[in-house]
Amino acid sequence: MIKEAVNYQVPDLHGYYGEFGGAYIPEMLQRNVTELKEQYLKIMAEPSFVQEFELLLKDYVGRPTPLFKAERLSAEFNTNIYLKREDLCHTGAHKINNTIGQILLAIRLGKTRIIAETGAGQHGVATATVCALKGIECIVYMGEKDIERQAPNVARMQMLGAKVVPATSGSKTLKDATNEAIRDWINHPIDTHYIIGSVVGPHPYPDMVAKFQSVISKEIRTQLKEKTNSELPSHIIACVGGGSNAAGAYYHFLNEPTVQIVAVEAAGKGVYSGMSAATTQLGKQGILHGSKSLLMQTDDGQVVEPHSISAGLDYPGIGPMHANLYTSGRGHFVSATDEEALEAAFHLSKTEGIIPALETAHAFAVLGKLNLTPSDTVVVCLSGRGDKDLATYMKTIQTDL
């Protein structure tokens, strides 16, 4: 094991990245979170764990995912653009890297019951998938409104054997589903593991999820070396909802000062339109879902409902690692509107023959804003495929006709 210094990559012992992170949890959750905190690094370092995790990533998820040189896009922007194809993972996005890691961890902690929360249903599907793989009971909390809006993913989870439980309080969306999941965990402290889907939540979740996703940048380094003779790109670009695909894509470059870290948030109908999810631009320090981070809130601290055309970026917070990248200046934060993301999705489809997820399209929408040069090597994390977004894309085609 390489000893890791305190840096942009890993939090301190209490889970802080600079001033962000920590574990702000009710007394009733202390026991579960402490157990996890004391065990996660130990279990993740066990040779049998590493072996099983790597084998499943290879044979079940389909890793390593390709690093593809996008020739037509490169020519258009007069630079060198490589796509990290997380869209080719089993279930169609990067989320499965994390759920595989957490199910293996849960089994080693002796847990027999898995809970999760989901907004659009992507994390719910990735969780239901690994529970089916391991034959473990799976309960997914989902806002009643989201259950109506995301019917295909609800059907997928049910087909995979999960029980989807509606959250009927508040706005009946992700925030309320999270509250229900936390309530469940408090009531089942012994046998249940809560699989969180992004680099959010109380310590150790942000660090644990970032480590499971860090396989993305580990592979990029090896693949870039083969293709360009250097392991380091000039830019690495990813969209940020909670920030897990970004954390994975950045991880092994965070302490390489020559690599520009580019984070793309969802600006919705415009950063200052009142319908946006650009957390770093609009947020202030606050506590959400167990950690201190940047958070969209009113002057008296009420969480503001975010808006993005992509359900996966429609989140009022951001993981503590990213809040630290923003305030320290290590990360370059930009945003793309709903309209720019739609346009980028159609453009990538026609230019490279790859239909991206709407979340992912935000990362492509900023290529023209970065002053790229012919000597640059740009890696874009292609976090997921667009099948789930076809209804939205079709609406756009119809309005354009």
Catalytic residues: 95, 117, 383
Q: Least separation, in Å, of the C-beta of 112 and ligand PLP?
A: 27
Which of 18, 202, 204, 312 contacts ligand PLP by CB under 6 A? 312
Buried b or exposed e, range 311-335, using 16+ CB within 10 angstroms: bbbbbbbbbbbbbbbbbeebbbbbb
Considering the complex, state which of residue 247 and residue 378 has its C-beta at the smaller distance from ligand PLP. Answer: 247
Q: Does 91 participate in binding ligand PLP (rule CB under 6 A)?
A: no
Q: Which is nearer to ligand PLP, 79 or 175 (CB)?
A: 175
Kindly tell me which residue out of 118, 198, 293, 337 binds ligand PLP, with binding defined by CB under 6 A: 198
Q: Which stretch binds ligand PLP (CB under 6 A): 56-64, 239-247, 267-275, 298-306?
A: 239-247
User: Residue 113 is which amino acid?
Assistant: R
Site size with ligand PLP, rule: CB under 6 A: 19
Q: How far is CA 139 from CA 142, 189, 307, in A?
A: 10, 15, 27
Residue number of the CB atom closest to ligand PLP: 384
- Beta pairing, strands 284-288 & 291-295: antiparallel
Q: Between 309 and 313, name the residue whose CB sits nearer to ligand PLP.
A: 313
- Restricted to residues 104-133, the positions that interact with ligand PLP (CB under 6 A) are 122
Query: Using CB under 6 A as the criterion, what x/- string covers residues 174-193 for binding ligand PLP?
Result: --------------------
Which residues ranging from 353 to 392 are in contact with ligand PLP (CB under 6 A)? 357, 359-360, 383-384
CA 175 to the chain's CA centroid: 16
Kindly list the strands in the beta sheet with 163-167, ordered across the sheet, starting from the edge strand earlier in the chain.
Answer: 163-167, 137-143, 113-118, 192-194
Token digits of residue 308? 């993005």
- Tell me the two tokens of residue 271: 């950063």
276 binds ligand PLP per the rule CB under 6 A: no
Greatest Cα pair distance in the chain = 58
Contact 198, 120 (CB under 8 A): no
Between 80 and 94, whose beta carbon lies closer to ligand PLP? 94
Contacts of 48 (CB under 8 A, 6+ apart): none
Q: How far apart are CA 134 and CA 128, in angstroms?
A: 10
Residues that bind ligand PLP (CB under 6 A): 93, 95, 122, 198, 239-246, 312-313, 357, 359-360, 383-384
